[in-house]
Amino acid sequence: MRLPHRRPRRGEERHLLLLRELRGAPGRAGPAGPGLRSTRPASRALARHAALTAALLVVFPRPARAACGPEGGARPPVGLALSGGGARALAHIGVLEALEERGARIDCIAGASMGAAIGALYASGYAPVELERIVESIDWRQVFSHRRERTLVPLSRRLDEVPPVLKIGIEEGRFRLPSSTESDYRLDRLLFRLLAGPGLRSGDDFDRLPIPFRLVATDLGSGSRVVLSHGGLARTVRASLSTPASLPPVPLGNQLLVDGGLVDNLPVDVAREMGARLVIAVDATSPPLLPEQYRDAVGVGLQVVDVLARARNAAYAQGADVVIQPDLGRRSSTDYSDVAGLIAAGREAGRAALARVNELSTPAGTQPRGPVPVPEGVVAEVEVRGTRHVRPGLVRAALGVAAPRPFAMAEVMDGLDRVYATGLFESCWVEAEAAGDRLRLVMNAREAPRRTAELGLGYDETDGARGFVRLRDHDLFGWGQQATLAAIASEGGGGLRAELLGDRLWAGGPGYWLEAEAFDERPRLFTKGELLGRAEFDRDDLTFGLQASAGPSILTRLGLTGGWLDVRSRPGLGVDPAREQVRLLSGAVVWDDLDDRDLPTSGVQLRLTAERSLRSLGATHDYWRLHARGEAVLPLTRRFLVQGRFTLGLAGRDVPVHALYRIGGPALLPGIHRDELWGRQVLAASIAPTLLVRGFRLCLRGGAGDVWPAHRDITLRSLRRGAGFGFEKETRFGPLAFEAAIGGSGRTAVYASAGFR
């Protein structure tokens, strides 16, 4: 796609033609011959006036009144006004299908909120059938999610990372609440992918789209309506979609813009100002709340906003010539569960209303369409905007687009995902700007708070309630170095942990980590399935290590740990009290591309670790351990997957009790207690066919395994076996799980957990 030079607007063209006629355009045959001054009689004053007017219009263009339909045509110019309404506004796609069935030719479009998004796509050349395919392919549960793509988060940042229930930013010693309840990252990404090409082709002038287009936003500062006719197409549409509190406002120029539906949810008057003589309005506005819906504080707040917005809309309200109101009942603006049904309702309402309108059909039919343009050209520059503490070099390294190189949409989208996956930004979006015959790629970022306070909560039948409080600096020195201080408490143990992680994220090169821990572990001890009590191991140690990554999913670590461990005396457990010196050399290789930490639907995780206690440095015990454990999830259909786990551990020499392997139910050995079996050697595996039903995971699990004191004792004939059935569900507070199981000896067990694990 060749980047366009600015063409004269309507009106400018008339003056330029007049100037050519008066003076003779170079290279064009006029009355006096090619390239010669015209001999047609004309006053010099008129020529000077035409030249000055044309120049002023090019430099200072007057507010554009888009041409809307053929001038002096046999039919009136037809405009389309599309309302907001969130999910309800997807019904516009069905109405557009009905219009094309009728052979209607739309000459201009005005939209607000979701109507602006649908209108921009249609004005850019997307056919209704393409729009239907696009909206049905979107995972609407994730499009507004803050969740980062786990497989792109550097593995050092997600290895054993427990997500918090609540996270609050800290700036200048004060708590800072999030700028919105939902994330706009995936929405920005989607709009750029779909609209960047048409926006560049039009030169950011909405009159030059295949169908002239306007959208409405609201100035958050003044509350006034803003009608946008030019600018970055994707970004201006995003501004009109900014539902207050739900999505962050969009800064454009010196204004902060939010949802256009607040002031003019059905911009009929804008379509008329564009020149439409016949206006079709499609109204998918949400119905007023029922009295029972505003009996609590939240409901009252929503009702106040709704009443004020409807009153503000009345100031701009104009009657349309044709009003189409799809029968959407009381469907919520956030209910995307039946996209096909919404579109079908719009199609039915459109057919019924348009059957009574004769002026729409044209002999030529609807607008001819070519392929929707995509950005093309050479990226001459990559500019980073919006960073305050994060170094621009880190953003460029994560983006991975080096100039000069040809623009590739897939490469830019992958790079954008990597930037967001660093966790350093509340949102980030990319823009493509024309720079002569090349492109300037602009990476915009809105930084997340550098410091956060985080809270995690959980429960299981073994340790009861548990929780943690975590303070974290996400960008200590500007290259993403992360410092963490955490306090952890539960019946199974508690203490303090501090960590400094210098993994350099995508900047390349080896990284490091430093961890200090003061932790009191209290695991349960069993004999023949009977609980004896809780042991107690008090650990105070310091670990320093080096690490290297191969992409986001492979990590190699080498560390050295030194400290002390106290084994406390507990009556009846058979564990002797002792104070031990810990000097441990450890190494690990980890591969992890699971798509979710707790409830994955695809991917593999494999961990290989080796430990060697160093008597030469003063360690109390002389022992070694080799441990391999893994998890794999294979999706067979959209609703059915198979999950498998295994663990294999070997150890030798003087292995202390606190370094023994521990296994149990429900993940590996259903039917026995969690971490019931302790031993120097371990082997266990499980498989769980899982059905996904309405957000629940129904699983049937079978497992086998055991522990042994020595290598020579390992035998498959002695494996314990068990089976269980249960469900898991993701909630706002973490995964919820319940499972009932029976072991090979007839023992039964029930497991229940909620929150972080």
Active site residue ranges? 113, 259
H-assigned helices in 359-474: 392-399, 409-421
The C-alpha atoms of residue 500 and residue 547 are separated, in whole angstroms, by: 13
Element (H, E) at 193: helix 185-201
Question: Position 378: which residue type?
Answer: V
What is the maximum alpha-carbon separation in the chain?
A: 119
The neighbouring-strand residues paired with 513 are 501, 545
- Please state the separation of Cα 632 from the chain's center in Å: 24
Distance CA 551, CA 433 (A): 30
Query: Is the distance from CB of 284 to CB of 91 less than 8 angstroms?
Result: yes
How far apart CA 510 and CA 499 sit, in angstroms, is: 17
DSSP-assigned letters across all residues of 661-695: EEE-TTTTSTTS-TT-EEESEEEEEEEEEEEEETT
CA-CA distance, 28 to 32, in Å (whole number)?
10
Structure tokens that stand for 85 in this block: 């309404």
Q: What angle do CA 545, 551, 556 make, to 5 degrees?
A: 25
| Token duo for residue 685 | 């595996």
CB 627 within 8 A of CB 647: yes
**Which amino acid is residue 619, in one-letter code?**
A
By three-state DSSP, how is residue 731 classified?
strand
Give yes or no for a contact between 686 and 667, defined as CB atoms under 8 angstroms apart.
yes
Can you state the angle between helices 12-23 and 44-59, rounded to 10 degrees? 150
Q: What angle is formed at CA 194 by the lines to CA 331 and CA 603, rounded to 5 degrees?
A: 80
Q: Is 477 exposed, middle or buried (0-12, 13-18, 19+ CB in 10 A)?
A: exposed
Q: 355-385 in b/e burial notation, b at 16+ Cβ within 10 A?
A: eeeeebebeeebbeeeebbbbbbebeebebe
In sequence order, which residues have a C-beta less than 8 Å from that of residue 134 and are 6 or more positions away? 121, 126, 194
In what helix (H) or strand (E) does residue 192 lie, and over which residues does it extend?
A: helix 185-201
Closest CA to 141 of 373, 337, 369, 383: 337
CA distance 443 to 421: 14
In the block, residue with structure tokens 């082709």: 201
Contact 113, 89 (CB under 8 A): yes
Q: What ranges make up the beta strands (E) of 220-339?
A: 225-228, 250-252, 255-259, 278-282, 322-324
CA-closest candidate to residue 279, choices 344, 214, 218: 214
Beta strands in 405-463 (DSSP E): 405-406, 425-435, 438-447, 451-460
DSSP state of 287: P
CA dist 284 → 22, 87, 137, 139, 329 (Å): 53, 9, 22, 22, 10
Q: Are strands 482-490 and 213-219 parallel, antiparallel or unpaired?
A: unpaired
SS3 at position 710? coil
Alpha helices in 331-465 (DSSP H): 339-354, 392-399, 409-421
- Which residue do the tokens 């003019």 mark? 264
Identity of the residue numbered 372: V
Amino acid at 17: L
Q: Which two tokens stand for residue 475?
A: 């960008």
